[in-house]
Amino acid sequence: MWWYNFLKGVDNIDNLERVLKKRHFLKLHKIKERKREDILSYISSYLFNVPVKIVMDRDFLKLKPQDTISILINSFDQEETAAIIVDERDKLLGVITMKDLLRFFSPPKRYSIVGLNLLKCPTLSKGCTVENLMVKNPITIGIDDNLGQAIRVILETGKHHLPVIDKERRVHGLLEVKDIIRFIRLTW
């Protein structure tokens, strides 16, 4: 397959942009005069064959099942919107996203103090572990799969965060919709 040889040696998005400019300049120049639909068709056929391991985020939030809800909430920032729960060998146990976390909170009432005292479930507290909140057996994508398969899974399931795992269920990365959009922006 042409894309395999094309992407050989590309290990991250920074190198990918350089390789794209160099290898695809002539192809893009040839189709420049064509209609916009032809360009979109070329990009989508290329996009669907890109391996997930090139686009996935390798620097993601990893937590242990015994970590508390306070640690989880304090770990989320503007960039992090999901946490992958792993065991000591980095095998996937579960996932929790900001959206999942919101299910455990009730909307503030008049004169409520915003914070962890808004938890719906009375058995949950600041000391509650993420193991109690995480989604067990989340929908995943394989490290050897391509973006076409990942996009199909995202559209069919409505999930925006896919842990990237190998055959032993070890987590290698996290593929989010924002990573795919960032990749499209770089190759556009």
pLDDT on residue 42: 62
User: Coil, strand or helix: which one is 20?
Assistant: helix
86 strand-pairing partners:
92
Structure-token pair, residue 9:
């040696």
* pLDDT score recorded for residue 102: 78
Position 132 scores a pLDDT of 85
> How confident is the model at residue 158, as a pLDDT?
92
| pLDDT for 20 | 62
Extract the runs of DSSP E, i.e. beta strands, from 28-183. 61-63, 82-86, 92-97, 135-136, 141-142, 161-165, 171-176
Chain centroid to Cα 186, Å, comes to 17
CB atoms within 10 A of CB 62: 14
pTM score, two decimals? 0.69
Residues 23/6, Cβ–Cβ less than 8 Å: yes
Lay out the sheet containing 61-63: strands in order across: 61-63, 82-86, 92-97, 135-136
HSE-CB for 91 with a 13 A CA cutoff: 7
Structure tokens at 44: 């989508």
Q: Report the length, in residues, of the chain.
A: 188
Residue 167: closest CA among 145, 151, 147:
145
Q: pLDDT (tens digit, 0 to 9) for every residue of the chain, 188 residues total?
A: 445 555 555 555 556 666 666 655 656 555 555 555 665 676 667 788 899 999 999 999 999 999 988 888 888 877 788 999 999 999 999 999 988 887 776 666 665 555 545 555 545 666 788 898 899 999 999 999 999 999 999 999 999 999 999 999 999 999 999 999 888 888 76
- 140 three-state secondary structure: coil
